[in-house]
A and B are shown apart, each in its own frame.
Chain A
Amino acid sequence: MSEALAIKDPFGKATTGKLGMWLFIIMDGLSFGGLLIGGAALRATAPSWPNPGDLLNIPLTGFNTFLLICTSFTMVMALNSLEKGSQSGLKKYLALTLAGGLVFLGIQVYEYYHFILDGFIPSTSIYAAVFYSTTCFHGLHVLSGVIYIACILYAANQGRYTAHDTDQVEILGIFWHFVDLIWIFVFTVIYLI
């Protein structure tokens, strides 16, 4: 083929799978946007809205937020190790990320459990409805992320990835960082303001 006919690709070297994941997180972000803006609209028209700090355990969830940010760091380290050719580093950091995700979910379940014991359930108030729908939607993302990490960790254990073949780990990273980033928004909107 002649040089003139070659297609210029604005996305450069990004693999097709990576583009697919980017597109997916844009769509997923719009779903979160729908929930958060919907919650904000309800708040704007509600006759009363509780101060989240009076109902929720902010320090505990603050710790959870910190933990989730740390798992983003370990995810970066996992990819970094793989790029340097360290299989053991990849496995170690993926396992740490997995553990972090599980602890996050555990704390969220603990939080829900105590709320439900205290009678704070989704039908209690419109605030409770917004709280549960948004945090649970995010929690399901963390759960999918944890399962996803477990699959990649399993494949890494079999030596599927090399320093020249990092694509699958990078795609996992995009998803996990997204789950992290969106939590910052959820935490701010639902817990802090």
Chain B
Amino acid sequence: MSEHHEQTFWTKYIFSTDHKVIAKQFLWLGLFFLAFGGFQALLIRWQLAYPEQPLPWYLLGNLFYEGGLMTPDHYNVLFTMHGTIMIFWAITPMLIGAFGNFIIPLQIGAPDMAFPRLNMISFWTMFLASIVLLASYLLPEGAAAGGWTSYPPLSTPVGGIAGEGQTLWTLALTLAGTSTLMGAINYIITVVRMRAPGMTYFKMPLSVWGLWLTSIMNAIFVPIIAAGLILLLLDRTIGTQFFIAGGLATVEGGDPLLYQHVFWIFGHPEVYILILPAWGIVSELLSVFSRKPAFGAKVTVICMCTIVVLSSIVWGHHMYTTGMSPLLGKAFMFLTLLISIPSSIFFLNWLGTLWRGNLHFDPPMLFAMGVIWVFGLGGLTGLYNATVTSDIYLHDTMFVVGHFHYTMAASVLFGGLAAIYFWFPKMFNKKMNPLLGKIHFWVSFIPLNYVFFNMMVLGYAGQHRRLYNPSEYEFLAPISDLNISITIFAIILGFSQLIFAYNFINSIINGEKAEANPWKANTLEWTLEGPIPHGNFATTPTVYNGPHEYSNPAVKDRDWIAQSEPMPT
């Protein structure tokens, strides 16, 4: 299987077609932008707690703003780019780019992706997109400032926020989408075509299921937003008026609501695109660290598939306040609330996996259990946003911000960190320090909950999102202390990530060499001794068992059995 390749430094580390190298490239890209976007979050929090006061030295405000003072324009750029970067440049490359690439071929017993060269182009398209995005900061009027959703007319040249940053934003997002689509083609075809003998769909590990379903959703919905972004780009460059209406328009017939529809037809599935890999990974890790089969694994898969279908018909719940007809609003509310059924089922399955398990609290397990908690809270608060009557009050408040940070930021981030702690020994052949990992979990988990839970409290009290200066409103005065304490906890959360950064980099350089199967896991990647060569498996493995056969009584001396080992009879 493994062919001989003459490799130079360039073909081995830079323009590599090896899925494992591309995975690491995506991981570094994602981690860089995670730090970048996280830092922006702290600047936003500073402004909300201490409006119009100079930034302290440790937030480096003097570097970016004159006298460390943030203007409203700067603030608009901050929250726009924070959202954009975190969603499309941090989470997407980390979970889908890095772990999609790393896990899928190894766990299904394939030598590489179906289209290795396309895989390489996918990364470099993403890299180009990153450069375009970062270049927009150098423009005289700064980067995009119309919010991560870039609703017209905020994002259109007439009546919008000045500057070409928005044009580059649109271009960068189109490029990032193209990169995602190349990845999606690869992941889908790889799973369909390259599974090892015996690897039926229901013997695929749940993390592969999550990543596969994510790719299918990407393949369906990213082309649609691409069409919308192209129209927005035309509005910005050659003077069409697709999304401009009313007094701003010079020709009749443009429709800003059309953009919102197109954006959310993609945007709501995007939430699931981001979280499905995390769900899959968590389902698998809970099984590994409970030393038990994943409870109801097939049902979990069916629930995930149901959510894929349902997620495509609920986008209207982002638009209740746009003058939608009440009948349509009710229909979207009903469909949205339907999603809570499959979500609850596999949530119960997670608890079922833990129930009476032999729990090992290693760092990956802590983060996986953290996901259960934060996703539970995020999911439950979603009900208030899905219901028209409560959403009309809560819409565009900090409640929504708290809610989607629980579901998207906290769950997906914890899922990604769990994956890093879990697969680090296979990726880098080194061990991470488990004690630092556990400390990292607790110093992240507690402040994170403080920050996002209290954001919902702020929103319930009436504080709007994207507000430059809450102290200008008298009714928000009683909660200004809460704004300050959230910021303090956010700073703790931000700086505690340095523990992770130290652990991650130090382990790569000085870490102890890891054994082949440190977690005693069943899936195929752990049967390989590191470093894994280009081409992965010396002989194609044959799969006999399901991925979660832990503590099977047929296996006498240990509580695991590799998928490629025949079950003793």
Q: Which residues of A contact B (CB under 8 A)?
A: 1, 5-7, 9, 11, 16-17, 19-20, 23-24, 26-28, 30-35, 38, 41-42, 45-49, 122-130, 132-133, 137
Contact = CB atoms under 8 A, between A and B. Distances in A.
A31 B197 contact: no
A133 B234 contact: yes
A126 B224 CA distance: 20
Interface of B: 114-115, 118, 181, 184-185, 188-189, 192-195, 197-200, 219-220, 222-224, 226-228, 230-231, 234, 238-242, 250-255, 258, 261-262, 542-544
A9 B189 CA distance: 12
A47 B252 contact: yes
Contacts of B544: 5
A11 B222 CA distance: 25
B254 A38 contact: no
Contacts of B193: 9, 11, 16, 19
A164 B234 CA distance: 46
Contacts of A38: 227-228, 231, 242, 258, 262
A38 B220 CA distance: 16
Given A5-B543, A31-B224, A122-B234, A23 B189 contact: yes
Given A7-B197, A133-B240, A16 B114 contact: yes
Listed from nearest, the 5 A-B pairs whose CB atoms lie closest are: A34-B227, A126-B253, A46-B253, A123-B239, A129-B240
B230 A137 contact: yes
A123 B224 contact: no
A24 B198 contact: no
Contact of B241 (A27, A45, A129): A129
A170 B523 CA distance: 37
A27 B114 contact: no
A20 B223 contact: no
A42 B242 contact: yes
A1 B198 contact: yes
Given A38-B258, A45-B255, A46-B252, A122 B238 contact: yes
A93 B261 CA distance: 44
Given A34-B227, A133-B234, A19 B199 contact: no
A19 B189 contact: yes
B253 A125 contact: yes
Contact of A16 (B189, B198, B227, B543): B189
A116 to B, nearest CB: 12
A124 B197 contact: no
A30 B224 contact: yes
9 contacts: A1-B198, A5-B544, A16-B115, A27-B220, A38-B228, A125-B252, A129-B242, A130-B242, A133-B230
Contacts of A129: 234, 240-242
Contacts of B262: 34, 38
B552 to A, nearest CB: 19
A133 to B, nearest CB: 6
A2 to B, nearest CB: 8
A87 B414 CA distance: 58
A35 B115 CA distance: 29
Contacts of A27: 181, 184-185, 219-220, 222-223
A94 to B, nearest CB: 24
B255 A41 contact: yes
B112 to A, nearest CB: 12
Contacts of A34: 223-224, 226-228, 262
B254 A1 contact: no
Contacts of B251: 123-126
Contacts of A45: 253, 255
Given A122-B240, A129-B241, 17 more contacts: A5-B197, A7-B198, A16-B115, A20-B115, A27-B184, A27-B185, A27-B220, A27-B222, A27-B223, A34-B228, A35-B230, A42-B253, A123-B251, A125-B251, A128-B240, A129-B242, A130-B242
A184 B106 CA distance: 43
B527 to A, nearest CB: 16
